Structures are given as structure tokens and as C-alpha cells.
């Protein structure tokens, strides 16, 4: 696994986009620590590839601090819940997003996410999701946006590349 780019927001932004992603890796991993300025009760991270938001499907499972659990498929680009202005001060949600075989040009692209919204209240949540982008184009850019409000200053997002059978530095054959 090798770091491609990492950014910490110096000013609030509603969306973060990585462009010109190198095609030299097998898979991509995105690790992010984010919080939204929104005062809505529930805000989530949405994923986009190549500036596309169409042809996505997903299924996610969640557990809430209230004890509620369930599954849903209505949020097709879901990549985790976001901490908001309603949550414990200075707490951030965490998400990891795995995108295998992103350079392929003959198959649809799958992705999986593992996320947690951390707050000292019943609104905290953890979720895992499996999604599909039904498009054969190689992924060259990735977008993450907050469904409401901005990502706050201090939010961090890192993009990593993974090479099959290697640690990102030493390649096996």
C-alpha cells in the first residue's frame, strides 16, 4: 500500500475530489476523517467516480447507538455517516473505502466501505456497505461529498494505491 495523496482541509469544502489518479496500482483505498458543518440530524458521505453519480447500486448494514440495527439500499453511493454540528465537539467520523480493480475497462466497478460516526450520544452509528458502479470505464477520479453542509477545517482524506502481491514498493511476479 502506497500513499498517493493526502489532504487536510485548511478551509471548509462541500466536496473533495482526487483527479488524475495513476493507473499503476491494482486497487485503491481511501481513508478519511471527516465532519460536516450541517445541523441536520443525519448527514452522509456520498461517493462518485469520474464525476459520475449515475448507475450506482449499494446495500448497507448499520448499527446505531440507540440499539437499532438494519439494512438499506436506498442510498446508492453511501460511504458512511458524517459527524455533524449536533455531535460531540471536535469529533470526526471515520471511513475506509476499498475500490478493487479500478483500472479495468471491461467490468463494472465494486466498492466496499466501513465507517463509524463517533459521538457521545445515541446518534452514533457504524455501517458497512457494498456497492457497484455499473460502468466499464477505468476510474481516474474519485469524488466524496457531504450530503449537507461542508466538510469542516481539519477534515483529512488520504488516497492509497495497492499493488497485488506487494507492499506498494516491492513488486512480486
Partner 1 sequence: MTEILTKLVVDCSTGEATTVPLTTEELAQRETDRLAYEAQEAARKAAEADLKALKDSARAKLVAGEPLTEAEAATLVI
- Tell me the C-alpha to C-alpha distance, in Å, between residue 137 and each of 51, 103, 144, 154: 12, 8, 18, 33
Smallest gap from residue 173 Cβ to partner 1 (A): 26
Residue span binding partner 1 (CB under 8 A) among the ranges 89-97, 101-109, 143-151, 162-170: 143-151
Residues 6+ away with beta carbon under 8 Å from 35: 82, 83, 84, 87, 91, 92, 93, 151, 152, 154, 155
Q: Name the residue nearer to partner 1 (CB basis): 75 or 97.
A: 75
Query: Judged by CB under 8 A, does residue 162 bind partner 1?
Result: no
SS3 state at 56: strand
As a whole number of angstroms, the distance between CA 153 and CA 11 comes to 5
Query: Judged by CB under 8 A, does residue 70 bind partner 1?
Result: yes
Q: Compute the C-alpha angle 165/169/171, nearest 5°.
A: 40
- Residues in contact with partner 1, counted by CB under 8 A, come to a total of 34
Select the residue interacting with partner 1 from 26, 50, 53, 166 (CB under 8 A): 53
Residue span binding partner 1 (CB under 8 A) among the ranges 20-28, 86-94, 96-104, 112-120: 20-28
Tell me how crowded residue 5 is: count the other CB atoms within 10 A of its CB.
13
Query: Judged by CB under 8 A, does residue 21 bind partner 1?
Result: yes
Compute the half-sphere exposure of residue 159: CA atoms within 13 Å on the CB side of its CA: 19
Smallest gap from residue 96 Cβ to partner 1 (A): 18
Smallest gap from residue 7 Cβ to partner 1 (A): 6
Q: Name the residue nearer to partner 1 (CB basis): 11 or 172.
A: 11
| Residue with the three cell numbers 458502479 | 133
Interacting residues with partner 1 (CB under 8 A): 4-5, 7, 9, 11, 13-22, 40-44, 46, 53, 68, 70, 72, 74-75, 77, 143, 145, 147-148, 150, 159
Amino acid at each position: 500500500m502506497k500513499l498517493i495523496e493526502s489532504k487536510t482541509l485548511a478551509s471548509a469544502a462541500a466536496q473533495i475530489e482526487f483527479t488524475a489518479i495513476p493507473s499503476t496500482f491494482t486497487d485503491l483505498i481511501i481513508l478519511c476523517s471527516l465532519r460536516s458543518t450541517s445541523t441536520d440530524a443525519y448527514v452522509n458521505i456520498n461517493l462518485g467516480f469520474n464525476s459520475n453519480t449515475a448507475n450506482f447500486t449499494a446495500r448497507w448494514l448499520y448499527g446505531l447507538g440507540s440499539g437499532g440495527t438494519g439494512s438499506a439500499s436506498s442510498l446508492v453511493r453511501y460511504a458512511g455517516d458524517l459527524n455533524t454540528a449536533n455531535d460531540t465537539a471536535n469529533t470526526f467520523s471515520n471511513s475506509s473505502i476499498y475500490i478493487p480493480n479500478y483500472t479495468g475497462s471491461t467490468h463494472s466497478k465494486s466498492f466496499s466501505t466501513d465507517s463509524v460516526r463517533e459521538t457521545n450520544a445515541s446518534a452514533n452509528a457504524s455501517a458497512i456497505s457494498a456497492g457497484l458502479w455499473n460502468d466499464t470505464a477505468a476510474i481516474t477520479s474519485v469524488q466524496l461529498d457531504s450530503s449537507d453542509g461542508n466538510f469542516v477545517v481539519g477534515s483529512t482524506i488520504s488516497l492509497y494505491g495497492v499493488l497485488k502481491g506487494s507492499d506498494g514498493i516491492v513488486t512480486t511476479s
